Structure 1
């Protein structure tokens, strides 16, 4: 794990400790723990868990304090969600306290009060439970429940649709490989590991090869049309609808 990433998350944890007396833990997830972290392209992904909810103004103050650390982020930006211990255990409709994203020109702070749930938390929680690094608090397996297989597959499908519709072709292809491995083996892995797993079975697949090269910084990557065909041909949507 990159030392600068860990140091940055420790600073975020200190900020949260100062503002939330009910802080349960702070957990690093994403590529920093799964592998393949690239400071030029990778977000620093964090989940923070608190005992209970607060009102919108308090949520916004928490988000602003976190966003203020963004300039020191050792990656492409910070993506952090604060959620309650009940949500971490059970997910439910995936409510959150506040979401902070500093990957753009200006930080985005979304208080959870009055907002709908964030379905992305399903996959984030699954990664945290299995691979997350507790920067502060108890081990992640004691905090995060195990999301049902069907909910993980559905979250993966939703992410693939977002990527295809948003024109993120290489990202979609690599995540389709990752999703295919989970559907077949029940294992969550990084995008890179998913691509290598797929290519070990289909060594001549030009779409995955192009997506992997793009992710590693070389080549134009697959076209949107090729990416869509690959995702649709992966069968992941059917797995999610049928529950595996």
Structure 2
């Protein structure tokens, strides 16, 4: 098993100054300085690692945006990507106060930004004439209500409507389906293993864990034959070594394909 020197686990309260300024600067660049901004995901749950983690944000605006405003917001976020201080990019959903306060599944939103959309946004290939819907928001909103951090605005549980646990589980299970399809786990092994552990833990009621916490849960609950691959995934997730974007998915080294596929097959019997 490849082991690594661990980086510093960070939260929004104690994150590196350049990470904080990047987040705040991106919000300003998107023209959302007066909006309510919430951190969820690893940076909220104290397991943000510079070499691996993305920055997850939810932004709440007073009312629906015009198509011109949606494009301005998307371009603002996309335009900051090249100057980000970490390999991981922002993942942002912008909702109106009404969208935040009213549960629907999938949940409508005004704007979404993540690394996979950067080029399309900057090249003007997206349509901004209507709002979208995203089933993943059931997971994001569950996390932000339970463990999120308000950068600005009221407390998360005062802004975001509760999400039925069944909808939360459906959202994380759909993400897991992508991980477990075919040989996808071989392409993104540490993310896939840790995500699978996190989803398995959701079978215990009202359980909302980070990927790192999912691995710690797995130490106590998974069969011995799968413990080594979980420890490998956790070590890679925490790895302090700075990698290229091409190396990020595999942590820059080979994995035991047989162990990964055995883990995949066992998880499929559980979910």
TM-score normalised to structure 1 length: 0.82
Shift of 1:126: 0.9
Measured in 1, the distance between the counterparts of 2:53 and 2:256 equals: 20
For residues 40 and 202 of structure 1, what CA distance do their matches in structure 2 show? 27
Unaligned runs of 5+ in 1: 236-244
CA contact (8 A) 2:78 2:118 kept: no
User: Where does residue 197 of structure 1 map in the other structure?
Assistant: 217
| Structure with bigger RCO (C-alpha 8 Å, 6+ apart) | 2
1:29 to partner: Cα distance: 1.2
Out of 55, 68, 86, the position equivalent to 1:44 is 55
Structure 2 residue aligned with 1:238: none
Q: Which residue of 2 aligns with 1:84?
A: 96
Partner residue of 1:146?
A: 162
> Cα distance, 1:72 vs. partner?
3.6
CA distance in 2, matches of 1:57, 1:225: 47
RMSD (Å), alpha carbons: 2.7
In structure 2, the CA distance between the partners of 1:222 and 1:31, relative to structure 1 (3 Å rule), is farther
Which piece of structure 1 moves more, 165-174 or 46-55? 165-174
State the shift of 1:129 in Å. 1.0
Q: Deviations over 1:97-135 (max 9, x none)?
A: 111123687475766644641111111111111111111
Residues 74 and 58 from structure 1, CA distance in 2 versus in 1: closer, same or farther, beyond 3 angstroms?
A: same
Give the match's secondary structure for 1:69: helix
1:64-143 superposed matches below 5 A: 64-75=75-86, 76-92=88-104, 93-102=106-115, 106=119, 108=121, 113-114=129-130, 116-143=132-159
| Post-superposition offset of 1:175 | 1.3
